[in-house]
Amino acid sequence: MFNSTIKVWGVCLVLLMASQACTDLDEKTYDVIPTDQFGQTAAQQAALIGPLYSGLADYYGNSQALNATTDEQIVPTRGGDWKDGDNWKRLYQHTWDPTTDNGQFNGPWTWCYNNITSINQQLGSITDETVKAELRALRAFFHYKAMDMFGNVIIADQVGTSTPAQKSRAEVFAWIEKELLEVYPKLSSTVGGAYYGRFNRPVVNMILAKMYLNAQVYTGTARWADAVTRCDSIIKSGKFSLTADLLDNFKVQNQNSPEIILATPFDNSKRGGFNIHMATLHYKHQLTYNLPASPWNGYATVVEFYNSFSAQDLRKKMWIVGQQYDATGKPLDDDGVPMIITPEIPAFEMPAGPAGRLTGARSQKYEIQKNNTTNDMSNDFVIYRLGDVYLMRGEANFRLGKVADALADFNVIRKRAGVPDYTAAQLTLDEILAERGRELAWEYHRRQDLIRFGQFTKAWRFKPASEKYRELFPIPKDQISLNPNLKQNPGYN
The answer to whether residue 438 sits within a structural domain is yes
The answer to whether residue 326 sits within a structural domain is yes
> pTM for this structure?
0.91
Same domain for 151 and 281, yes or no, is: no
| pLDDT-wise least confident of 19-33, 117-131, 463-477 | 19-33
Same domain for 229 and 367, yes or no, is: no
Same domain for 300 and 196, yes or no, is: no
Give yes or no for residue 45 having a pLDDT over 80: no
The answer to whether residue 379 sits within a structural domain is no
Same domain for 358 and 399, yes or no, is: no
C-alpha span between 418 and 164 (Å, rounded): 51
Same domain for 117 and 248, yes or no, is: yes
- Confidence label for 48 from pLDDT (cuts 50, 70 and 90): confident
Q: What is the pLDDT of residue 163?
A: 87
pLDDT in tens, 54-89: 999 999 999 999 999 999 999 999 999 999 999 999
Last residue of a domain, one of 314, 347, 373: 373
**Residue 52, phi then psi, degrees to nearest 5:** -70, -30
Give yes or no for residue 18 having a pLDDT over 50: no
Give yes or no for residue 204 having a pLDDT over 70: yes
Query: Percent of the chain scored above 70 by pLDDT?
Result: 91
C-alpha span between 210 and 204 (Å, rounded): 10
- Confidence label for 30 from pLDDT (cuts 50, 70 and 90): very low
Give yes or no for residue 357 having a pLDDT over 50: yes
Q: What is the pLDDT of residue 47?
A: 72
CA nearest neighbour of 359 among 282, 419, 436: 282
The answer to whether residue 407 sits within a structural domain is yes
The answer to whether residue 105 sits within a structural domain is yes
Q: Where are the beta strands (DSSP E) in 336-375?
A: 337-338, 340-341, 349-350, 362-363
Task: State the total domains in the chain.
Answer: 2
Same domain for 86 and 210, yes or no, is: yes
Same domain for 295 and 202, yes or no, is: no
Last residue of a domain, one of 347, 373, 399: 373
- Confidence label for 415 from pLDDT (cuts 50, 70 and 90): very high
Last residue of a domain, one of 322, 343, 373: 373
The answer to whether residue 151 sits within a structural domain is yes
pLDDT in tens, 333-346: 999 999 999 999 99
pLDDT in tens, 84-114: 999 999 999 999 999 999 999 999 999 999 9
pLDDT in tens, 303-322: 999 999 999 999 999 999 99
Same domain for 362 and 415, yes or no, is: no
**CATH code for the domain in which residue 197 is found:** 1.25.40.390
Q: Provide the residue count of the chain.
A: 493
Give yes or no for residue 4 having a pLDDT over 70: no
The answer to whether residue 428 sits within a structural domain is yes
Percent of the chain that is helix, strand, coil (3-state, to 5): 45, 10, 45
Query: What integer is the mean pLDDT of 323-340?
Result: 98
Same domain for 226 and 367, yes or no, is: no
The answer to whether residue 224 sits within a structural domain is yes
Same domain for 141 and 282, yes or no, is: no
Residue 345, CA distances (Å) to 67, 84, 442 in order: 18, 19, 18
Residue 162's contacts (CB-CB under 8 Å, 6 or more residues apart) are: none
Same domain for 319 and 285, yes or no, is: yes
H-assigned helices in 168-275: 169-183, 201-213, 215-219, 224-235
36 vs 357: which has the higher pLDDT: 357
Same domain for 51 and 135, yes or no, is: yes
Average pLDDT, the chain: 92
Range of the structural domain that residue 323 is part of: 276-373
